Structure formats: structure tokens, C-alpha cells
Structure 1
């Protein structure tokens, strides 16, 4: 079985797209639509990679990122956002994100991105 990837994103279409695309590469993919659900998942089971949306209905992924990184320092976090104004990207990378992925993204690049953050 491949690596476990957790997606925390409130957009069902993005979650399904990522799940479908990543499953083709042999990854086991779980997703939740709220930050609270994602934090509970992380307490129960640590994924190998986390895709974290920056803007969630119940909180900010940017604010949660330092907490996640302090609790799970070896967990690669790929932040995703529809708001790519440069400032959010810099904040995410400064807070410990391994990569910032603007929406919409090219699913053909996902395998390379995962390889990059895992190495």
C-alpha cells in the first residue's frame, strides 16, 4: 500500500480531483472538509503528506500550520489556495510549508511535487 495522504479542503471538487489523481499513483487518500476534522484525524493517524487549504470555514490553514509543524515536524505540508497573491505563499513557506500550490493546479505535476517534498 502506498503512502497515506490527508487533504484538508472545504471544496469537495478539489478533494475528489486530488483523490482520483493521487490514487492513480498508488497513494491512499483521505480527505476532510474542515480544519477541526483534520486536526482530529492527525491525532488518530499521521499521514505521510498533508495537503492543507489556507482558507477553511472553521479556521485558517495558515494559522494552523505552525501548530501542525510543531506537533508533526517531519510531516510535509503542501498548502493549497485559490488566493495566490504572493504574500500568502511567502507566509505559508515561512510557517513551514514544503510547497505552496495555487488553485487551479496541474494534476500532472502532483507526482513530481510529492517526490520533491518527500525527498
Structure 2
């Protein structure tokens, strides 16, 4: 199995961490169209629990969650699950936020509102 196929095999599961349930449903629907298995949670506490059983290859992470900032959670994900790709997705889309997300280890950054094309671009970028 070449490395590209190996990475794609790891990214069959996606975990969405966002407190807006409609965003979770929308992302889930879009990702399923790309043959990714999806699950979603609405807080960092629930994300900790989900990560104990789910082993996603990619995480779509909102920044402003009820129990903390996703930006501060990226390091935890990267330390505990170094192979997992993190896509930061937030309504607060500034150059500072983008730089901080990448500095903290995010693999891709998406501002809200987003299009299906940008979601697909993110999936392709982190799978490459």
C-alpha cells in the first residue's frame, strides 16, 4: 500500500466538534458524499469522550465551544493523536486566528460561512 492510500485509509472517519448542530448535520452530509464516516459532538468534554472510542483520521474543530476554545484543543489532539488531521472551522476568520491555528498545529483553516467546495478542498488537502 503506498503512502497516499495509507493516509486515505486513516481518513475514513471524521469527527466534527461544533456547538451548532445544524453545522454538524451539514458537514456530516457533505463528508458522507466523500465517503467519510462521520460522528459529531458539541463540546470539548464530549470530544474527549468520543476520542476514546472513535479514532478519526480528520477532525473538523470549531473554535468557540461552550467549554473552551478549539484553538487551545489542537495541541491536545496533536499530542495524543499525532496522525489525526485537524481542520479549524470558525466564524472568527482573521489573519491572527489563521496564524494561531496553524501555529498550534491545525492542518487547514476554514472561515464560516463555508461552501461545499472549500470543505472538499480541505479534505483533499489533508489527505494528500
TM-score (norm 2): 0.87
Report the equivalent of 2:4. Answer: none
Unaligned runs of 5+ in 1: none
Distance in structure 1 (CA, Å) of the matches to 2:20 and 2:51:
20
86, 89, 93: which one pairs with 1:80? 89
Aligned residues: 119
Partner in structure 1 of residue 25 of structure 2 = 16
For residues 35 and 16 of structure 1, what CA distance do their matches in structure 2 show? Answer: 18
Structure 2 alignment gaps of length 5 or more: 1-8
| 1:12-41 Cα shifts (integer Å, max 9, x gaps) | 111111011111121111101111101111
RMSD: 1.5
Cα shift at 1:111: 2.2
Superposition pairs for residues 21-40 of structure 1, below 5 Å? Answer: 21-40=30-49
5 Å-filtered alignment, 1:1-119, equals: 3-119=12-128
More helix by share: 2
Please give the alpha-carbon distance, in whole angstroms, between the structure 2 residues aligned to 1:56 and 1:109: 22
